[in-house]
């Protein structure tokens, strides 16, 4: 298959990025009063503790936005001509 080939009607899948070295979800809490934010973390506990400490210091800052960033990857579905071993997309 040359680089100029066109694959029409090929099926693709979208799912969690599970390639080696891929990051899991990243968690952050943002104060909806002052927009200050916790440091990002691989786990929820750190940002949640930050939110509690933030409110303890500033009692009128009690609303937060939980932001979770997850990472996805598109891969060729079975039957797609690119879904073969050794293809970096597969």
pTM recorded for the entire structure: 0.74
Residue 82 tokens read as 């690119």
Q: For residues 69 and 72, what is the distance between their CA atoms, to the nearest angstrom?
A: 10
Q: Which of 4-8, 57-61, 80-84, 86-90 has the highest mean pLDDT?
A: 57-61
pLDDT at 87: 64
Number of Cβ within 10 Å of residue 38's Cβ equals 21
Domain boundaries, the chain: 26-76
Q: For residues 88 and 14, what is the distance between their CA atoms, to the nearest angstrom?
A: 15
Q: How confident is the model at residue 7 (pLDDT cuts 50, 70, 90)?
A: low
Whether residue 31 contacts residue 61, with contact meaning beta carbons closer than 8 Å, is answered with yes
Q: Where are the beta strands (DSSP E) in the chain?
A: 12-16, 26-31, 64-69, 72-76
Per-residue model confidence as pLDDT tens digits over 21-77: 999 999 999 999 999 999 999 999 999 999 999 999 999 999 999 999 999 998 888
């Amino acid at each position: 298959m040359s680089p100029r080939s066109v694959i029409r009607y090929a099926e693709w899948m979208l799912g969690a990025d599970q390639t080696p070295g891929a990051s899991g979800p990243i968690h952050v809490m943002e104060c909806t009063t002052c927009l200050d934010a916790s440091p990002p973390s691989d786990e929820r506990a750190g940002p949640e503790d930050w939110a509690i400490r933030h409110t303890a210091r500033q009692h009128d800052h009690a609303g937060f936005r939980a932001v979770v960033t997850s990472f996805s990857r598109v891969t060729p579905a079975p039957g797609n001509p690119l879904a073969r071993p050794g293809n970096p997309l597969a």
